[in-house]
Each structure stands twice: as structure tokens, then as C-alpha cells.
Amino acid sequence: MNRGKILLIDDKEEDLRVTKELLEKAGYTVIENLGWLGSTKMIKTFKPDLVLLDVNMPALSGDRLYDLFEQSVRADGIPVIFYSSLEESLLKRLVLQKQVRDYIAKGDVFLLYKKISHHIKKAH
């Protein structure tokens, strides 16, 4: 059962592997992108139902990367969720500043499932 397509962008291979495994077990199709390079192209070619984006990446942070592909995801109605181990107050502020759909703290598997399911259903 395919519950939706998710593009997972993170700079840590272990986080990509673990998160992808969790989401695939829940029935999602997941394509991952290590770091920021190629992310915009992945959005255009993969056409995900949701983008799960790490905020704390070197060279180009997730919130700045979002600025690069914001028009594409907004035009296509693709929800973006910031996914990070940053402090919750900082994540909330970034969500408001960038007007992305939501945030999820890394490690909170319950909220990972709940929020992804909610935002994919809401987008369709």
C-alpha cells in the first residue's frame, strides 16, 4: 500500500537511512537526497506529495534551501515540513518566517507519522 511519495533531504546518511526505513515501513515511497545539491531537480522529477527537509545542514541550511525551491512547491501544492534536532522555539520561528507547513523534531516517531499523514491527506 502506497500512502504517498516523500522526498527526504538530510546531510546525515544515518538519519536518511533510519527515517527512510521508518517511513517505508509505514507504507510511504521515499526518495532521499544527501545534502542540498540536486534537491530542486529531485522535486521537479520525483513530484513528491511532501518534502521532509532537515534544517541544520552545512554549506546551505534547510531554510535557505527552501528559498531556492519555494516557488516550485507552492505552485504544485507540495507541503514542506522542517525536520530537525534544533531547539523547538527556533523551529517554530523558522516555520512562521518561511511559511512552511510544519516542523517535526528528529526522534519523535509518533509525530513523524502523525504529521506526515495529516499533511499528505490535507494536500490531496
Q: Higher-confidence residue: 73 or 111? A: 111
> Which DSSP state fits 78?
-
Mean pLDDT of the chain: 89
Which residue segment(s) compose the domain that 87 sits in?
A: 5-123
**Cα 11 from Cα 16, distance rounded (Å):** 8
Report the CATH number that the domain containing residue 33 is assigned in CATH.
Answer: 3.40.50.2300
On the CB side of 16, CA atoms within 13 Å amount to 15
- DSSP for 18-66, written as a single string: HHHHHHHHTT-EEEEEESSTTHHHHHHHH--SEEEEES--SSS-HHHHH
Residue 70 has what pLDDT? 80
Q: What is the pLDDT of residues 64-105, one digit of tens each?
A: 788 878 877 777 888 999 999 888 888 899 888 888 999 999
Number of domains in the chain: 1
